[in-house]
Structure formats: structure tokens, C-alpha cells
């Protein structure tokens, strides 16, 4: 059996790594790894592959950046010859990036079976490009591996046959569980505590310069109560550099370059709270038991709210300030060391988020 994996951006790497490892245990399986190059920071891609102990890609398509149409079309054009050459029995695609839907569409035209890892997630917001990618990929897939019960429900409601749906758990949590002990070794010894960890990258947020300026001012204000650690996404950095004023920046609001996986996981683990517009970070903070404030109007991961630590505060920055202040007050007397947080990770457990999702995927594929 020949399995071909398609990854395109850093979140895919965390999801694919445990599946590659689990399938390696099956002698009858041959694997090919295709990196579309949708994430075009070569240095960051390389360090993610190293830290996750992933094999080097068999193909790097080098698609790079561009509009959604350009990127999707570029992946489709570049991956078709690879599929025709390798003739896989099954193509596994991950998450909701443009590479995922592009590969699924080409496979469907070539009558190659597709498995979607992280199927069934829905925000209900079709203005999000990722939502379109999720909807289309799920309709084209033959095997749909869901991380949580809401995924199953969404797929059934959309007419997907129950026999195609397999709830396996969350492969990102597989990676987190395996690498968390190692991540602890990457925690900066000189980092001041307590601190909040911030990530922002969605165009709907960072391309709104008025909103971004106000967000920066609120972070500067919050930094009087705790340090703010803000690894800045390249898109966000470009917007910040283009702003006429960055009033309020101070020594307690630390802007960093993007971080490799282990370093970022170490910071998440010990944060007093995380402020983000990321999807995967909502899941990781839920498992870690770290309060998360998500600056989006919706989430495709509602289980992180119902069973986790996530609060959806929207783009309402007054609401963000209020929620952040409440968390600071609640945790002001708590120990912020890793020992003080060890027990929290088990307080918000989502069924099957146990570090073994990839093994379940491998068993389904090979049976």
C-alpha cells in the first residue's frame, strides 16, 4: 500500500508527523511526503521538520505565496505530475490550508482516494477561506478523520455517509504529548513571569490597521500588569512596520521573531493566558489547561469552549481587555511555574485527545 501525504504550512507538519510515524510501523505501507511549499519561509519550515523528526520531503513543490486563487492553482498544477508518477493508493491531506483543497481536487479528477485528517470542523463563516477549503475537501474525501463529536455531526448534516466518518481524536495533541517534555528544555531561563503569550496572523485582524493599532495599545496597557510575549507572524510584522505609530510599545511588551515549535510550546505551557486568532492554539491551550482568549467572531473548534479553556471574545477589544483583566486577577495569587500547572492539563480533557489519534488512523487505513 502506498500512502502519499500532502503538507503545505506549519500547522500541517504537526498533524502529519505522528501519522507518518504511526504508518511507519506497518511494513506493508510505503510512504511519500509532498511539501507544497505554501509556507514559504524555508528556514522556519526546515526547523519544524527537524524538531518534529519528520523525514525530508520527497518532493518540494515550491509554490510560495500569492492570492488564494494563485496558490491553489499553483498547487494543483505542481502536484498532478507527482500523483501521476507515484500512483498512490491513498492521499492524506491535513487541516484547512489551500494545499489541502488543491490536492483533494486533483485527486478526485484522477480517481485517487483521499483521506482528510481533521475533517468536519466548521465555523459557519463562509467569508473565511479556510471554511471553503474544509467544506470542499470533506465533500471530496473517501475517509474523514474527525477530532471531536461536532465534526461527526457536521458531516452527517451535510450528507456525508456515516461509513466514511471515523472519529479518531486530535493528531496535533499527539505531537504535543510526545514533545512536551522536550519543549520544557527550551524555555528561556531569562524570561520574566508572569506573562501573556500573543499570536495574531489572520488578515481580517492584522490588515485592519486601526484595529491592530488599538490592539497594540491594549497589549501595552495590559503589560503594566504582566509581561506580554508576542512572536510576530511575517504578515503581522509587515503591517506593524507600515503603521505610522506604535505608541505604547515598552520593555514589558516584547515583540519576537516567529518561533520554532518546541520554543513556542514551552511558552504556551507556562503562560498565564494566551491571546490568539489561531485555530490550533485553541486546541493546544485546552489540553494544557491554559486560559485562551480568541479574538475572532467564531470558531471551528467549539469543543475548546464547551470542554476547554477557550473564550471567544470576538474583535471587540473592550471585551478582550475585560476578559484578560479577569484572568490576571484570578491567577494573581497562583503559582505560575510549570509545577503549578501540571495538574491543569487533565482538567479539560476532550475524549480521544490522548496522544494516540495517529495510531487509530493507521489502523483504519491498513485494515
Number of H helices, E strands in the chain: 16, 13
Contact 205/231 with Cβ under 8 angstroms? no
| Alpha-carbon distance values, 207 to 38, 210, 253 (Å) | 20, 9, 21
Per annotation, catalytic residue among 201, 227, 233, 349: 201
CA–CA separation, 340 and 311 (whole Å): 22
Contact 54/15 with Cβ under 8 angstroms? no
Active site residue 166: no
CA–CA separation, 276 and 202 (whole Å): 10
HEC per residue, 15-55: HHHHHHHHHHCCCCCEEEEEECCCCCCHHHHHHHHHHCCCC
Residue 271 exposure: Cα atoms within 13 Å on the Cβ side: 31
CA–CA separation, 181 and 241 (whole Å): 36
Catalytic residues: 201
Amino acid at each position: 500500500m502506498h500512502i502519499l501525504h500532502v503538507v503545505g504550512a506549519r500547522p500541517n507538519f504537526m498533524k502529519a508527523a505522528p501519522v507518518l510515524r504511526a504508518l511507519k510501523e506497518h511494513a506493508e505501507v510505503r510512504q511519500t511526503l509532498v511539501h507544497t511549499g505554501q509556507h514559504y519561509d524555508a528556514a522556519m519550515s526546515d526547523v519544524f521538520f527537524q524538531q518534529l523528526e519528520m523525514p525530508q520531503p520527497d518532493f518540494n513543490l515550491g509554490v510560495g505565496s500569492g492570492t488564494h486563487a494563485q496558490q491553489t492553482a499553483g498547487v494543483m498544477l505542481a502536484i498532478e505530475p507527482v500523483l501521476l508518477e507515484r500512483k498512490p493508493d491513498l492521499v492524506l491531506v491535513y487541516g484547512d490550508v489551500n494545499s489541502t483543497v488543491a490536492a483533494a481536487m486533483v485527486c478526485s479528477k484522477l480517481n485517487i482516494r483521499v483521506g482528510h485528517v481533521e475533517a468536519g470542523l466548521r465555523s459557519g463563516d463562509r467569508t473565511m477561506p479556510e471554511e471553503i477549503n474544509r467544506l470542499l475537501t470533506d465533500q471530496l474525501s473517501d475517509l474523514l478523520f474527525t477530532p471531536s463529536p461536532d465534526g461527526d455531526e457536521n458531516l452527517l448534516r451535510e450528507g456525508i455517509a456515516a461509513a466514511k466518518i471515523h472519529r479518531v481524536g486530535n493528531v496535533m495533541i499527539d505531537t504535543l504529548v510526545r514533545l512536551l517534555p522536550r519543549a520544557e528544555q527550551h524555555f528561556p531561563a531569562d524570561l520574566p513571569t508572569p506573562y501573556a503569550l500573543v499570536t495574531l496572523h489572520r488578515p481580517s485582524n492584522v490588515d485592519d490597521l486601526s484595529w491592530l493599532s488599538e490592539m497594540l495599545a491594549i497589549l501595552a496597557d495590559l503589560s503594566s500588569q504582566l509581561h506580554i510575549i508576542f512572536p510576530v507572524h511575517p504578515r503581522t510584522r509587515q503591517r506593524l512596520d507600515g503603521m505610522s505609530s506604535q505608541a505604547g510599545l515598552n520593555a514589558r511588551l516584547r515583540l519576537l521573531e516567529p518561533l520554532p515549535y518546541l520554543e513556542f510550546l514551552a511558552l504556551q505551557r507556562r503562560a498565564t493566558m494566551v491571546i490568539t486568532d489561531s485555530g490550533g492554539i485553541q486546541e493546544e491551550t485546552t489540553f494544557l489547561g491554559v486560559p485562551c482568549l480568541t479574538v475572532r467572531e467564531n470558531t471551528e473548534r467549539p469543543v475548546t469552549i464547551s470542554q476547554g479553556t477557550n473564550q471567544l471574545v470576538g474583535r471587540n477589544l473592550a471585551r478582550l481587555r475585560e476578559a484578560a483583566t479577569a484572568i490576571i486577577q484570578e491567577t494573581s495569587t497562583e503559582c505560575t511555574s510549570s509545577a503549578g500547572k501540571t495538574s491543569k492539563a487533565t482538567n479539560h480533557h476532550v475524549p480521544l485527545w490522548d496522544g494516540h489519534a495517529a495510531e487509530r488512523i493507521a489502523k483504519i487505513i491498513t485494515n
